[in-house]
Amino acid sequence: MTDPAFLLIQFLNGLASASNLFLIACGLSIIFGVTRIVNFAHGSFYMLGAYFAFTLADHMMPALGDAVGFWLAIPLAAVGVGLFAVLVELVLLRRIYRSHELFQLLATFGVVLIVQDLVPAVWGPEELFGPRAPGFTSFVTILGFRFPEYQLVLIAAGPLVLGALWLLFNRTRWGTLVRAATQDREMVGALGVNQAILFTGVLFLGGLLAGLAGALQLPVEPANPFMDIHVIAEAFVVTVVGGMGSVLGAFLAALIIAELQAFGILVFPEVTLVLPFLVMALVLVWRPWGLLGRPEAATGHGFAGDRPLRPLGTPGQLAAAALIVVLLLLPLVLGDYAEKLALEVFVFALFAFSLNFIMGAGGMVSFGHAAYFGLGAYGAALAVKQLGLAMLPALVAAPLLAGLGALAFGWFVVRLSGVYLAMLTLAFAQIAWSTAFQWVELTGGDNGMIGIWPSAWASNVTVYYYLTLLLCGAATAFLWRASFAPFGYTLRAGRDSPLRCDAIGIDVKRHQWLGFALAGTCAGIAGGVFVFSKGNVDPGALSIPTSVDGLVMVLLGGIQTLTGPLLGAAAFHLLEAYVLPLTDYWRALVGLVILLLVVAFPQGLAGFLRDLIERRGASA
Amino acid sequence: MSALLSVSGLEAFYGRAHILFEVALEVGRGEVVALLGRNGAGKSTTLKAIVGLLADTRGERRFDGRDIARLAPYRIAQAGLGYVPEERRIFTDLTVMENLEVGRQPPREGAPAWTPEKLFALFPNLAEMRDRPGGRMSGGEQQMLTIARTLMGNPRAILLDEPSEGLAPVIVEQMAVTIAALKDEGMTVLLSEQNLYFARALADRAYVIEGGRIRYQGTMAELMADEAVRQAYLTV
């Protein structure tokens, strides 16, 4: 274990994976630096690099000979991905440079979903094993250990790319313009530089680097349809730890994280998935803009159609009362399946509503709200499975665990703002996910836990329907009320002008912290109720896609409205239940819905309806 | 003589706030014109609106015979209208030479062709810090650099937003000498200022703006003679 030669080998393995991480993360960082877009689709670029390389090598190696064919296929695959990235820029990103960062994140996630369905459709669902790299198929012996030659190629790739990028950024006009635009792109435009050329070029470069990383990985790891999500989370961590926009920072961060993982696996193997996210949380608390990053200039992008929340007027109160009566009477006309669907809508409505509470009133864009939904779900499941508790105490455990998690994570989160805040919430959700995934003895790992059913008295669907309505309705009403309590006003004041709030003696962070914990607790209630309706829980409840579902619901309904998330949750869940089973390409469908929403209806359903009503009112 | 830059009926908004109301002004070729007003009167907003940096504007803007009202900022700069922002907005990570490189545009007919060497003759202290990052320069040096950077675009006219603001008196004097030198080379300048005495030394004519409206226009000499206008709109 402590044999120095073995440690050296492990160090070299760490260097090889550091190269890979750096190649992915530096492109992400460069793209963010200039466009200010956090590109979720970067993982897709990486995955496409591996698949492009597979296909190219498959055709070119027989035609041109192994060596020429392979070593030509790798750069060609990278260029191919670069061109794909340019396509994404021209068709999508160009339309949303002025949008709120939430819309940008979601839009690029829409691309992820589309590519996820595209790849198996083109290349099939199986793993594709690439050829070994000609010229580097053997081993070298280092202090008595056999070390693959190809790992040395990977080790060299990182510093070589770093050097090439340094030359590009410091010795060419284009590079100087990119560095200038990273700091102040508007000023670069005012000096006569067409930013479109910079943006398109930067996407090409970033896509090229991610594609190169994917292509170079092919001899080591088979191309598979899950490479994208796995790699994107780590790439985010590296980018954020290094400081977004800093290439050298990405290099350092990749080195630190890859080495920590290489040695961490020797000491405490269970921690490998969590480790990068722990590093990120610690670094961000110590340096809120990463190792070599700089404070973000306030971009000042508001949500489309920002306007103050208004309490319900008399018509609104009547409508709410009527809705409650309808929901109470609904079981009289619905069958079991529809009742179950309806109660799931309540669950997701609360989930979305609590997310909107921290985003809308709190101004904190969370990309990991699933953490608290999932903690609630696991809290209830663990209470039943590990503690042998009945349903009602388990339903208390759900918000308790979620609330404690939100308190702990929230303490870090509220110290940041903007994109860094969103990334940290994502990191915490990944910590929760990794824990559920790797702590098999406690959580059942990937399989999760099954057989978590309501107590006998609540096993009837209709009874559980009313229980769900009561719990989710009460929690929603509570958050609604809080939005108009002095606490809600304080939160919104802190969102709109943190400095002024500080100046008049309001502790903005403390209020945000409390708001975050409240929202997490309520999401936990939703998670707990959800477990008993499904009978099981698995790490999917904590995953990125669940967080994104919540965001899509909020966006679909309309952010900065209170009715929006409720409407959005209903629309999204019913869409999921009725439309998605009809197609094999449901992810692509959701992706397209996201793109449509972001580009065409940024105000969402509720905002759209409100605008329509106001326009009629104005013309009447 | 037709004006090089002419603006009329200019309105500007920040969100729902209406900032500029029917602003109209003209700058002739080779003229130095001052836009005077107190803090918050609308000087910077006017300049930003002219160079296309505001999202929500209405009204006519013509430069060198071209309609520039709908053009992107980079196209306006490429048309030969340079802009020097009040906040300077130096690229702090980039060296002096690199800052100049960002501003570089091809030479333009009917405008002086600037090179770093010519600019160093105009701004001698910049010559001694070619490789210094912009972030490690004094305010006065940054102010020189931001003007030099805009000149690298070989503009036919420049908009200078409060060039004397926040500078030590001796630097303000240097700045006045520099702008006078540009004027002697035939440069057209629209200068926004609070400092009446700085403007008096340089400008041929002046507009006075207050509450987003042009309240007065005349030659510099007329303005200096009009105690009432100065009292109403300029003294603090």
Query: Tens of pLDDT along B41-73?
Result: 999 999 999 999 998 999 999 999 999 999 999
The model's pTM is: 0.88
In a domain, A327, yes or no: no
User: Is 70 exceeded by the pLDDT of residue B1?
Assistant: no
Instruction: Report the percent of chain B where pLDDT is more than 90.
Output: 86
Q: Looking at chain A, which residue has its C-alpha nearest residue B76?
A: A192
User: Is 70 exceeded by the pLDDT of residue A306?
Assistant: no
Mention every residue, 6+ apart, whose C-beta is less than 8 A from residue A129: A222
Q: What is the pLDDT of residue A11?
A: 95
Whether the CB of B102 is below 8 Å from some CB of chain A: the reply is yes
Q: What is the pLDDT of residue A587?
A: 86
Best mutation target among A94, A174, A187 (most B Cβ atoms within 10 Å) is: A187
Looking at per-residue pLDDT, the higher value among A570 and A600 belongs to: A570
Best mutation target among A191, A194, A292 (most B Cβ atoms within 10 Å) is: A191
Q: What is the pLDDT of residue A303?
A: 53
Structural domain tally of chain A? 2
Q: Looking at chain B, which residue has its C-alpha nearest residue A180?
A: B91
> Which residue among A173, A183, A192 sits closest to B91, beta carbon to beta carbon?
A183
Whether the CB of B105 is below 8 Å from some CB of chain A: the reply is yes
Are both A614 and A470 inside the same structural domain? Answer: yes
Judge: A183–B92 Cβ closer than 8 Å, yes or no: yes
The amino acid occupying position B232 is A
Give the separation between CA A513 and CA A493, rounded to whole angstroms: 14
Q: Looking at chain A, which residue has its C-alpha nearest residue B158?
A: A191
Judge: B93–A195 Cβ closer than 8 Å, yes or no: no
User: Is 60 exceeded by the pLDDT of residue B201?
Assistant: yes
Q: Looking at chain A, which residue has its C-alpha nearest residue B105?
A: A192
In a domain, A27, yes or no: yes
Judge: A195–B74 Cβ closer than 8 Å, yes or no: yes
Judge: B98–A186 Cβ closer than 8 Å, yes or no: no
Q: What is the pLDDT of residue A307?
A: 63
Q: How many CB pairs under 8 A join A and B?
A: 59
A192-197 long-range contacts, Cβ below 8 Å, gap at least 24? A192/B74, A192/B77, A192/B78, A192/B103, A192/B105, A192/B153, A193/B74, A193/B102, A194/B72, A194/B74, A195/B74, A196/A94
Give just the sign of the alpha carbon dihedral A419, A425, A431, A434. negative
B68 DSSP assignment: -
Whether the CB of B88 is below 8 Å from some CB of chain A: the reply is no
User: The CATH number of the domain where A361 resides is what?
Assistant: 1.10.3470
Query: Is the CB of residue B91 less than 8 Å from the CB of residue B134?
Result: yes
Q: Looking at chain B, which residue has its C-alpha nearest residue A174?
A: B102
In a domain, A241, yes or no: no
Q: Looking at chain A, which residue has its C-alpha nearest residue B135?
A: A183
* Average predicted confidence (pLDDT) for chain B: 93
> Which residue among B85, B104, B153 sits closest to A187, beta carbon to beta carbon?
B85
Structural domain tally of chain B? 1
User: The CATH number of the domain where B114 resides is what?
Assistant: 3.40.50.300
Q: What is the pLDDT of residue A598?
A: 85
Q: Which helix (H) or strand (E) holds B124?
A: helix B124-127
Judge: B150–A191 Cβ closer than 8 Å, yes or no: yes
User: Is 70 exceeded by the pLDDT of residue B15?
Assistant: yes
Instruction: Average the pLDDT over A273-296 and give the result.
Output: 85
Instruction: Average the pLDDT over A19-47 and give the result.
Output: 94
Judge: A179–B98 Cβ closer than 8 Å, yes or no: yes
Whether the CB of B207 is below 8 Å from some CB of chain A: the reply is no
Task: Pick the last residue of a domain from A199, A225, A251.
Answer: A225
Are both A348 and A221 inside the same structural domain? Answer: no
Give the separation between CA B24 and CA B6, rounded to whole angstroms: 8
Instruction: Report the percent of chain A where pLDDT is more than 70.
Output: 97
Instruction: Report the percent of chain A where pLDDT is more than 90.
Output: 62
Whether the CB of B83 is below 8 Å from some CB of chain A: the reply is yes
Instruction: Report the percent of chain B where pLDDT is more than 70.
Output: 99
In a domain, A84, yes or no: yes
Judge: A180–B150 Cβ closer than 8 Å, yes or no: no
- Quick one: tokens of B225? 């003679």
Q: Looking at chain A, which residue has its C-alpha nearest residue B150?
A: A191
Q: Which domain holds residue A194?
A: 4-225
Q: Which domain holds residue B82?
A: 5-233
User: In B, which residues are within 8 Å of A188 by CB distance?
Assistant: 102
Residue A528's Cβ-side half-sphere holds a number of Cα atoms within 13 Å equal to 31
Closest-CA distance, A57 to chain B, in angstroms, reads 41
Judge: B102–A193 Cβ closer than 8 Å, yes or no: yes
User: In B, which residues are within 8 Å of A249 by CB distance?
Assistant: none
Query: Is the CB of residue B224 less than 8 Å from the CB of residue B63?
Result: no
Each residue of A355-413: pLDDT tens digit?
A: 999 998 888 989 999 999 999 999 999 999 999 999 999 999 999 999 999 999 999 99
Judge: B74–A194 Cβ closer than 8 Å, yes or no: yes
Q: What is the pLDDT of residue B103?
A: 97
Task: Pick the last residue of a domain from A225, A255, A281.
Answer: A225
Judge: A180–B91 Cβ closer than 8 Å, yes or no: yes
Enter the ipTM: 0.94
Judge: A179–B85 Cβ closer than 8 Å, yes or no: no
Q: What is the pLDDT of residue A85?
A: 98
In a domain, A458, yes or no: yes
